[in-house]
Structure 1
Amino acid sequence: MNILHIDASPRAESHSRKLSAAIVERLLDVSPGASVTRRDFAIDPVPHAWSDYATALSSPTTLADPPPGSLDFSESLIREVEAADAVVIGTPMHNLTVPSVLKAWIDQVLRATRTFRSTPMGKVGLLQDRPVFIAIASGAIFSGERANQPDFLTPYLSAVLGSMGLQTVHFLAVQGTAFLDDGQAALAREEALATVDFAIPA
């Protein structure tokens, strides 16, 4: 088994990093021999789309005959997803949605004719489904009766990942982190972990 572990927080000791690390630990408990492929966007951020890549994606004609090398980086990221039996993404909620470094990764892996095809009914995913565990940390509260801000992160990631064929998406969240001490945050992580079954289909 291979786990693709992605962190998008710029902070080395963030709540989302601690939660994503705990998810990986649970997966390793289930599959002790699993390998982990690491992507830390604070240390090695995915660049935003450059001219040749944007040109390649601009029309069916250019996508069929793209500028040399323009899709190579995108291809390497997509292959990491394809090689993973489970994907773990740790992300803060920035201004109600995902941080730009995670959006840059999405712009590389959500690619026409490679991870989805367009139909009159919308995008159809071309990747085989696998579990995706998303660890979210939010300084405010975005779900439940105490919600005090909108949530554009979870519906967006559900739509994006689903467009690629990744339908089994689990969201685990630690909310109100601006007001939690270390003990409360640790308890919130345990409560989030308890909401998900970490069994991986064979």
Structure 2
Amino acid sequence: MKTIPLVNASPLGSASRAYAIARKAADKLLDSGANTRLIERDLSPAHPSPIAKDYADAVAKRAERDAPAFAQSEILIQEVIDCDYLIIATPMHNFTAPASLKLWIDYVLRVNRTFTHRDGYKIGLLADRPTLVVVGSGGVYHGAHARQPDYLSSYFALILATIGINNVQFIHLQGLVRPDMAEQSRILAERQLAVHPVFGLVSAATGS
């Protein structure tokens, strides 16, 4: 059975505009192939919990993967290992990733589990897979009307590449604090999604 984790880092939960686009991508995959299931991972303020001393100690001491301190990390990592497609919806907070997504990163990016070191470089241990990242922002950071930087996209692309995932596509929803711009951004995002070779109308799930 194919699996699709949908990781939602928005404090708005299912009311997030980025989540709405991400869910459409997931639904298209679900509709296009049998034996496919969706795993929703809502990164609410309490899940996952902040990094604690026992986790830091376990990482520093290279503890076995079944160590109790790694329980949360193992769940999140296994969801990525097992998936055929990965979908992430996130807001942009203060030019970069929100705290909830940063915690997800800190649990998933783990030495000798999702990456290793070689000649001083981090080398990913996971297989590549199609990944969609939908970013929502109240401000504008791409295009002629950009008024703020985007540190999220390059950072998160590097994070995913570090664990072995390079087949990554970003869809950006900008200017969401302005109703007119928000609607234009939604339309553009849906158009981008529709022509995506995996998550859009032409789906790799069916080969069509």
- Equivalent residue for 1:70? 69
- Equivalent residue for 1:127? 126
Where do residues 7-156 of structure 1 align in structure 2 (5 Å cutoff)?
7-12=8-13, 13-42=15-44, 45-58=47-60, 62-64=61-63, 68-156=67-155
* Residue 179 of structure 1, CA deviation: 1.1
SS of alignment partner, residue 63 of structure 1: coil
CA 1:45–1:127: 2 relative to 1, 3 Å: same
Paired amino acid for 1:151:
D
Q: CA–CA distance in 2 between the matches of 1:117 and 1:200?
A: 30
SS of alignment partner, residue 166 of structure 2: coil
Paired amino acid for 1:131:
P
The TM-score, its normalising length taken from structure 2, stands at 0.87
- Equivalent residue for 2:156? 157
SS of alignment partner, residue 165 of structure 2: coil
1:133-170 deviation digits (Å, cap 9, x = unpaired): 00111111111222211111000111100000011111
* Residue 32 of structure 1, CA deviation: 4.5
| Aligned-pair identity (%) | 34
1:53-72 deviation digits (Å, cap 9, x = unpaired): 111222xxx11468941122
Q: CA–CA distance in 1 between the matches of 2:35 and 2:65?
A: 39
* Residue 18 of structure 1, CA deviation: 1.1
Is residue 185 of structure 2 the alignment partner of residue 189 of structure 1?
Answer: no
Conserved in 1, the CA contact under 8 Å of 2:129 and 2:165?
Answer: yes
1:68-122 deviation digits (Å, cap 9, x = unpaired): 4112221121111111100110001111111101110110010001100012251
CA 1:195–1:179: 2 relative to 1, 3 Å: farther
Paired amino acid for 1:35:
R
Conserved in 1, the CA contact under 8 Å of 2:173 and 2:186?
Answer: no
Q: CA–CA distance in 1 between the matches of 2:36 and 2:107?
A: 26
Paired amino acid for 1:8:
A
Q: CA–CA distance in 2 between the matches of 1:68 and 1:115?
A: 16
Q: CA–CA distance in 1 between the matches of 2:57 and 2:65?
A: 8
Report the RMSD for the aligned CA atoms in angstroms: 2.2
Query: 5+ unaligned residues in a row in structure 1: which ranges?
Result: none
Conserved in 1, the CA contact under 8 Å of 2:114 and 2:126?
Answer: yes
The TM-score, its normalising length taken from structure 1, stands at 0.89
Q: CA–CA distance in 2 between the matches of 1:197 and 1:161?
A: 20
Query: 5+ unaligned residues in a row in structure 2: which ranges?
Result: none
CA 1:129–1:2: 2 relative to 1, 3 Å: same
How many pairs are equivalent? 199
